[in-house]
A and B are shown apart, each in its own frame.
Chain A
Amino acid sequence: MRRHRITAGAILLALFAVLAASWTAGQQQAEALAEGPGADLVRAKCSLCHDLGHITRIRQTREDWADTVKLMIRRGAPVSPAEETILIEYFSTYYGR
């Protein structure tokens, strides 16, 4: 019985550690994204399917970013035309080349 309690405690502790670690990782990733108009939209839409590192790692021209956003929409991203404009503006401002 006691052993079970210890095991349960250990599992809870491990769970907490894991959630804390995931939280930290999530925060770090969120912090890595440049703040500015559109950043929240990027977090809301792009991270539905992929790490934001796919964005922050690269620098592209406005034209390439526009193509990338269109491609993501073709691949199922729920992005409206108005949001598309915000995203392209954000990417070319903070991750442009």
Chain B
Amino acid sequence: MSDHKKENQEKLEVSTEQNAVTRRTFIRTAGRLGAVLAVGSTALSLESAAQTSAPAVTTAQSSTPPPPPLRGPIVLNAEVMAGKDPVMKVLTERPLTANSTAENLNDAVTPTNRLFIRNNLLTPDLQDAGHTLTVKGLVEKQLVLTLDELKKTFPAVTVQGMLECAGSGRTSFVPLPKGTPWSPTGGYGCPKWTGARLRDILKAAGVKKEAVHVAFFGADFGELPTAAPVVRSIPLSKAMDRNTLVAWEINGEPLPKVHGFPLRMLVPGWVGSASIKWLVGIEVLDAPFKGTFMDDSYRVPAHPISPGEKMPKETVSTEAWPVKSVITAPAPGAKVKTGGMFTVAGKAWAGENSIAKVEISIDEGGTWKRATLAKAGDKYAWRMFSLPVTADRPGYLTILARATDSKGNVQPIVSTWNPLGYFWNGIHRVGVVVEKA
């Protein structure tokens, strides 16, 4: 074969390989993410059919071998979403992410079927039987606990606590940073969690004095065996907080599979990624865990940079959320009457701090009125606020909410831009239409 011919032959093989891979990818996607449970087995046979009908794939030399089998059973996206409220919008299928916006998060306690979904990999179909939690690293005594042992050994506590993805509200940033396109008011929730205090478990294991960080390992896995595992660690001080839980229940029910069944971390008030799902391991370390989900993701510039600029060398890890509030009522586009009173309501939270006040403006921030705060609940729960408002002229009207925390931090008009689009906490505005009474 001449060099020219050989080159063409190679090109052909590469292109056949790419097409075949694309096709396989599609079939796998259809099989794994199809809209009904029954699709799974059918798609599997389709997948093998596709592989036998394309023998060129197996002979072609390529750096991409056929996709290997998954490491374990998974729950299909369609099955996950069938357990969710229809107000939930799927943002990405792979990995699965879904959220709903503020007007659908008006409940005092976020219903489980409206809690956002943020997977990094697939949803593993875990069983409680045989599931264990290992505690190792800088501890006096390594522990391996079954779920029963965990529940029997440590007192169960229930706390209402904020869970919010670091990228919550990302689509409000300009230019749009990469990552999950969370809705401007999506990507957070405040359910009630039940579990053991992490500190009780750590005390039982005996934390050595060199301990600095505590890392959490989940049982989730990706499409490829090479997919990096999602491991996150938090400082020992936060690990020892009485509200940091190894949780097995949400709103009084076992965790749904997509939310970490049978066990997950809850690190309330902090970026959601710390609350590792499908928890199987805890490791006490003398430094933050080294891994791509610590070193490449969940970081912001140490000092603000221009919008669109590259991530600088000096960065800090994302931890607690800054002060933030959202208006949950009225809904955008709602109709109200002139002279009639309506209630502006919403939620405010502030990571490690508490909410000092929330103010409302209906004149684009010219004047502000203090809203009434509901009684404070658990430390990391959001605070509900409300204010009766009267519109005295017809037409479009914007409502703004601005929260201030116990340290005097005020919600900004626009959040500081950062390359990965974290910590959006800009003032929320909702437009309504005032009609003549």
User: Is this pair of chains taken from one and the same complex?
Assistant: yes
Binding site for B on A (CB under 8 A): 11, 14-15, 18-19, 21-23, 26, 30, 40-41, 43-45, 47-51, 53-54, 57-61, 63-64, 67-68, 71, 74-80, 83, 97
Which single residue of chain B is at the shortest CB-CB distance from A82?
A: B63
A61 and B42 contact, Cβ closer than 8 Å, known pairs A14-B36, A40-B19, A78-B226? no
**B210 on the A face (CB < 8 A):** no
Contact call B92/A19, Cβ cutoff below 8 A: no
Residues in A with CB closer than 8 Å to B176 are 57-58
**CA gap between A30 and B23 in the complex, in Å:** 11
Of all chain B residues, which has the CB nearest A11? Answer: B38
Please determine whether A64 and B292 come into contact, CB atoms closer than 8 angstroms: no
Contact B310 A64 (CB under 8 A): yes
Asked if B18 and A49 sit within 8 Å, CB to CB, the answer is no
In the bound complex, what is the Cα–Cα distance between A32 and B36 (angstroms)? 25
Q: Are B227 and A49 in contact (CB under 8 A)?
A: yes
Separation of A20 and B406 alpha carbons in the complex (Å):
54
B223 close to A48 (CB less than 8 A): yes
B39 within 8 A of A: yes
Q: B168: shortest Cβ distance to chain A, in Å?
A: 17
* B225 CB contacts on chain A under 8 angstroms: 76
Distance in Å from the Cβ of A84 to the closest Cβ of chain B? 11
SS class, residues of chain A in contact with chain B: helix
Residues on B with beta carbons closer than 8 Å to the beta carbon of A83: 63
Residues of chain B whose beta carbon lies under 8 Å from any beta carbon of chain A: 15, 17-19, 21-22, 25-26, 29-30, 33-36, 38-39, 42-43, 63-65, 67, 92-95, 175-179, 181, 222-228, 292, 296, 308, 310-311, 419
Known: A18-B34, A97-B308. 17 other contacts (CB 8 A): A15-B36, A18-B35, A21-B35, A22-B35, A43-B18, A43-B21, A44-B64, A47-B94, A48-B67, A49-B222, A49-B223, A58-B178, A61-B310, A76-B228, A77-B224, A78-B65, A97-B175
Closest to B97 in A: A51
Contact: B33 with A22, CB < 8 Å? yes
Q: Can you list 11 A-B pairs, Cβ within 8 angstroms, ordered by A?
A: A11-B38, A15-B39, A22-B30, A53-B92, A63-B310, A67-B311, A68-B178, A75-B228, A76-B225, A76-B226, A97-B308
Residues of A within 8 A of B43 (CB): 19
Partner of A57, one of B21, B181, B228: B181
The answer to whether A45 touches B30, judged by C-beta atoms less than 8 angstroms apart, is no
Contact (Cβ within 8 A) B292 A47 = no
Q: Which residues of B contact A78 (CB under 8 A)?
A: 63-65, 224, 226
A42 to chain B, nearest CB (A): 10
Q: How far is the CA of A65 from the CA of B29 in the complex (A)?
A: 25
> Does B25 lie within 8 Å of A44, measured CB to CB?
yes
- Looking at the assembled complex, report how far the CB atom of B426 sits from the nearest CB atom of chain A, in whole angstroms: 20
Q: Which residues of A contact B181 (CB under 8 A)?
A: 53, 57
Assess whether B64 is in contact with A18, with CB atoms less than 8 Å apart: no
Say which residue of A19, A43, A79 sits within 8 Å of B25 (CB atoms): A43
Q: Say how far B375's CB is from chain A's closest CB, in angstroms.
A: 41
Contact A26 B177 (CB under 8 A): no
Query: Which of A22, A49, A60, A77 is close to B34, meaning CB atoms less than 8 Å apart?
Result: A22
Do A44 and B22 have beta carbons less than 8 Å apart? Answer: yes
A76 touches B178 (CB 8 A): no
